[in-house]
Amino acid sequence: MADLLKCLLRVAEKAANVARVCRQEAPLFQLLVQEKTGADKNKKFVQDFKTLADVIIQEMIRHDVGAQFPEMVGFIHGEESNKFENGLGESVVVTVCPSEADTASLLSTVLDGDSTAASLLARAIHQDPASICTDADHLSIPLQPSQLGIWIDPIDATSQYIEGKEEELQQGVLCPSGLHCALVLIGVYLRGSGEPVMGVINQPFNHKSPDSSGWRGQHFWGVSCDGLALCSVSPPKPGSGSGSGSDLSVVLSSSEKPSVKKALSSICHPDKLMYASGAGFKILCVIQGLADVYVLSEGSTFKWDSCAPHVLLKALGGGVVDLNKTLESGVNQAELTYHQPNTGHAGADRWANSGGLIAYRDRDQLSKLLTVLKGNI
């Protein structure tokens, strides 16, 4: 299944290109940042352009993976629905067509006849990315396409993507917000057990090229199944990145509950309680050793946010557990799974990580954390 990994790295890079093009090309950027509301809202224009960009990236990934792995068609899911309805009650299903011209003409109907924007978008969708080199080429991965399902988050941390703040990243330092928080996430799980087994993360805006040709990305991948544990990120050296000393460093959502922050402050130096945007980005910070754990007490993340980065943490010896379940019944059996919806919920909430989560690299650190959270949040 090294072919699947190569395919996911390629489609994630294509998705990153589309994300970059939408910010680089003026006609697309205009659409991306304008929010049409009230009297300004064109009834023929379908929802927001940012939703369309998300949907088309997701459909492109679904199309390319399905073409190479037909056994996976029907098991490739994402955050967005590809059915659009405009204010006049007309609906259009957005898909990737066999030719660039056909995709452009379909997109033009959703963009109320804006053929310039439609053509630019279609070109990015049909363009092959520069080849991605990995050391994964000769791997033998014991998985069959007919066992697998996929979760796609076309662009996680959409608000950071739209806002577009440019930051220069420093090695070993957690930078809490900006374009670098936007990630393309593609996670693969076992249909039978829901275990996450292969993950690809693409960070489209990692650094600006010195020759001013625009943004360059970075990608990360992991495989964790049947005793195989591979991750493109090396395990951080103990005590690195998050600072020295024995204090635990924790990354949180800026909207985390005061009771959680209070409980954590008993084992974390104030400098080591950090905040960052993007659910996927926060898990990436744990993968990279910029924080030891990510704690979230609310059910505000979804399967498509956590599946891909979960695999990289597993491959490094850590994982992502359901916070509530872990507090109730211990760490065993509480790893998040990806195959079953929450019963009694509708829409996106069916796929929420409803009990909150803890993403960790080290089991001892997880245990230490649980002792302070138990009974205190």
Q: Which spans of this chain sit near Ca ion (rule: CB under 5 A)?
A: 153, 156, 305
Nearer to ligand 2IP, 106 or 373 (CB): 373
Angle in degrees, 0-180, between the axes of helices 279-287 and 303-315, rounded to the nearest 10: 0
Instruction: Give CA–CA dist 261/272, Å, rounded.
Output: 11
Nearer to ligand 2IP, 177 or 232 (CB): 177
Q: In which residue are the tokens 């039978």 written? A: 192
Q: Is 158 a catalytic residue?
A: yes
- Backbone phi and psi for residue 331, each to the nearest 5 degrees, phi listed first: -75, -25
Q: Is 79 a catalytic residue?
A: yes
Nearer to ligand 2IP, 305 or 322 (CB): 305
Residue 285 neighbours by CB under 8 Å, 6+ apart: 174, 251, 276, 291, 294
Nearer to ligand 2IP, 242 or 277 (CB): 277
Residue 232, binding choice from ligand 2IP, Ca ion, none, Cβ under 5 to 8 Å by partner class: none
Query: Footprint of ligand 2IP on residues 158-187 (CB under 6 A)?
Result: 158
Ranked by CB distance to Ca ion, the top (closest) residue is 156
Ranked by CB distance to ligand 2IP, the top (closest) residue is 253
Which residue in 59, 64, 80, 156 is the catalytic one? 156
Which residue in 125, 155, 162, 186 is the catalytic one? 155
Among 25, 64, 156, 195, binds ligand 2IP (CB under 6 A): 156
Which residue in 59, 195, 305, 322 is the catalytic one? 305
Q: Is 128 a catalytic residue?
A: no
Residue 78, binding choice from ligand 2IP, Ca ion, none, Cβ under 5 to 8 Å by partner class: none
Q: Is 153 a catalytic residue?
A: yes
Which residue in 59, 64, 80, 153 is the catalytic one? 153
Nearer to ligand 2IP, 157 or 250 (CB): 157
Residue 300 in the binding site for ligand 2IP (CB under 6 A)? yes
* Span of 44-52, 101-109, 264-272, 275-283 interacting with ligand 2IP by CB under 6 A: 275-283
Among 108, 232, 277, 288, binds ligand 2IP (CB under 6 A): 277
Nearer to ligand 2IP, 151 or 189 (CB): 151
Q: Is 112 a catalytic residue?
A: no
- Burial category of 163 from C-beta neighbours within 10 Å (exposed 0-12, middle 13-18, buried 19 and up): middle
Residue 277, binding choice from Ca ion, ligand 2IP, none, Cβ under 5 to 8 Å by partner class: ligand 2IP
Show the binding pattern over residues 230-269: x = contacts ligand 2IP (CB under 6 A), - = does not: -----------------------x-x--------------
* Binding interface with ligand 2IP (CB under 6 A): 153, 156-158, 253, 255, 277-279, 300-302, 305
Could you list the active site residues?
A: 54, 79, 153, 155-156, 158, 305
